[in-house]
Amino acid sequence: MSPELLPIKNIVIVGGGSAGWMTAIALSGRFPEKHITVIDSTVIGPIGVGESVTGVVLAFVLDPLHGLTLGEFFRRCEPTFKLGIWYKNWHGPGTEYLSSIEAPAEYFPHRYPLHIEEFFAQAAADGRKLGDVLLYSQLMRAGKTDFYRNPDGSVSREMGGASCQFDAKAFAAWLAEVAAKRANVTHVDDIVEGYVQDAESGRITAIRTRSGREVGGEFFIDCTGFHRLLLGKAYQPKWKSYADHIRVDSAIPMQTPYPEGKPIPNYTVSAAMPHGWQWQIPTQSRLGKGYIFSSRYVSDEQAVAEFRATGVDVGDSPTILRFSPGRFEQQWVGNVCAIGLSGVFSEPLEATTIHGQSVQIKLLTDLLLLHATQAAMPVLAATYNRLIAAAHDDYVDFINFHYHTGRTDTAFWRDYQQPEAMTPLNRERLAKWQHTFPTREDFAPNLTQVALLNTNLNIWAPMLCAFGLLRSDAAQRVVNGSRYPAQLKTNLARYLNARNQILANGLTQAETIAYFRAQP
């Protein structure tokens, strides 16, 4: 058989951090017959700023092929439960709305066409805000999680589906420790200096390190973050900028100890600022804070002053990170694939970074690398590039819509209200939602079943409600036109009953953390 048709056996991951070590854990568990080499220098640490994530991290830890446990995760990585994002001041000073991360249909006894649309429509037709209806919004206000005690005192984990906030650096270190014990994983603690590229095929054949080693492989995964040392340098794929629609480009990250004895929130705070927004992300022992701003509208000195004016002690010389929102048009070229920041970044608002890299890992492990040969690389790459492009363009649409709140107190906010600052798809959606009720067809189709690739009505609905786009008149038409009025009524009743029971019996954040820390 031609070597081109043989399954690849040696995979080299260039870079560590959460991207590199999540990839190593997933690949080594999924493909025990393949050898995984991770080149990750302990001298160069990960950025470790993004600590608020979607549900993908808990799902990653729970995957039986990954060989991890929730108990160890809670002891090592200081996670707290996250039920949503509390948006403050986005429509002007003193305004707020809750954007809960929830799938109400999990509680429905009946699934039928438009079941989730009709659920949201019923609330809007009745004149209720989703923040007053949805379970997670109520739990956010109450400081509880959706884990609750049964009558016998045991803890129910049946419906627990929250996300988390955690220490990303500790997470990467834990995964590195676990991976290093596996027979099919080798950790090379060295600094990448370059690569060896075959002149005829264009494929990468080895990575050169500072110590003089050449680490050979058949397939290379670039997890070098913003350095983009492999895919970007070897193949220089075209860059698609998101800067017209994502106008922030700088971050001032801070970390402070969490006050002892103070209840830990079960949400991330996103507070609008004059030229961007501020995050507050609690882990078990500290509170991460940061100011995301646009250098196009404000100087570093003014941004620091604005951040300090909120009561944050930023010190004399705070770290300021720069980023360019955008993505490579090809995330996989030749035998090199990018995961995470090495190929794409928009901004942190909706925690899409670790979510996106989790999607990339799932596509590789569950869909593509099963068939990986050198001959198959071009067609596998084409599928990967198409799916990742669709996913991140969708994330940008979702993030971009948050800024069109009508706020006009600074040039930054005034410019964001202009039609050209809205993505073309969002302009189309907004025009439609002036007359109709949102439906699943308004959002990107689910292009794969192996990963949560795209956004959907569940996570858009709380924002659209806050923006006045779940119109009561359109909602009433949806309810009146339902083909399944009895099922709608039953779904709503069952949901509200479950919501009230969980709300009454839900564990607090501290109780839930203590429960999981005590698990094996």
Ordered structural domains, the chain, with CATH: 7-51+167-241+323-416 (3.50.50.60), 103-159+423-520 (no CATH), 250-322 (no CATH)
Residue 296, pLDDT score:
97
User: Residues of the chain with pLDDT > 90: what percent?
Assistant: 90
pLDDT at 46 over 70: no
- pLDDT classification of 130: cutoffs 50, 70, 90: very high
User: Residues of the chain with pLDDT > 70: what percent?
Assistant: 98
Tens of pLDDT, residues 247-263: 999 999 999 888 888 99
Order of strands across the sheet that contains 204-209: 192-197, 204-209, 214-216
Residue 450, pLDDT score:
76
pLDDT at 47 over 80: no
pLDDT at 45 over 80: no
The answer to whether 147 touches 157, Cβ cutoff 8 Å, is yes
Which range among 17-21, 83-87, 151-155 shows the weakest confidence by mean pLDDT? 151-155
The bridge status of strand 35-39 relative to strand 185-188 is parallel
Nearest Cα residue to 20 out of 168, 169, 166, 172: 172
Order of strands across the sheet that contains 219-222: 185-188, 35-39, 10-14, 219-222, 336-338, 332-333
pLDDT at 444 over 80: no
Helix, strand or coil, per DSSP, at residue 164: strand
Other CB atoms within 10 Å distance of the CB of residue 78:
22
Residue 30, pLDDT score:
97
- pLDDT classification of 73: cutoffs 50, 70, 90: very high
- pLDDT classification of 43: cutoffs 50, 70, 90: confident
Tens of pLDDT, residues 343-355: 999 999 999 999 9
Vertex 226: Cα angle to 303 and 382 (nearest 5): 130
The pLDDT of 393-419, averaged and rounded, is: 97
Residue 63, pLDDT score:
95
Tens of pLDDT, residues 143-170: 999 999 888 889 987 756 789 999 999 9
Residue 49, pLDDT score:
56
The pLDDT of 446-474, averaged and rounded, is: 91
CA distance 29 to 119: 40
pLDDT at 134 over 70: yes
The pLDDT of 226-249, averaged and rounded, is: 97
CA distance 58 to 60: 5
CA distance 349 to 396: 10
Tens of pLDDT, residues 281-332: 999 999 999 999 999 999 999 999 999 999 999 998 999 999 999 999 999 9
The answer to whether 450 touches 285, Cβ cutoff 8 Å, is no
- pLDDT classification of 359: cutoffs 50, 70, 90: very high
Average pLDDT of the residues of the chain: 95
pLDDT at 237 over 90: yes
CA distance 145 to 157: 11
Q: What is the pTM of this model?
A: 0.96
Residue 1, pLDDT score:
77
pLDDT at 50 over 60: no
The tokens describing 312, both together, are 């944050």
Other CB atoms within 10 Å distance of the CB of residue 243:
13
The answer to whether 6 touches 211, Cβ cutoff 8 Å, is no
Burial string for 482-513 (b: 16+ CB within 10 Å, else e) reads: beeeebbeebbeebeebbeebbeebbbbeebb
Other CB atoms within 10 Å distance of the CB of residue 5:
10
Tens of pLDDT, residues 162-219: 899 999 999 999 999 999 999 999 999 999 999 999 999 999 999 999 999 999 999 9
What burial class does residue 101 get, using C-beta atoms within 10 Å of its C-beta: 0-12 exposed, 13-18 middle, 19+ buried? buried
pLDDT at 126 over 90: yes
Q: Which residue has the higher pLDDT, 452 or 299?
A: 299
Residue 421 C-beta-side C-alpha neighbours within 13 Å: 19
Which range among 98-102, 146-150, 153-157, 227-231 shows the weakest confidence by mean pLDDT? 153-157
CA distance 386 to 368: 13
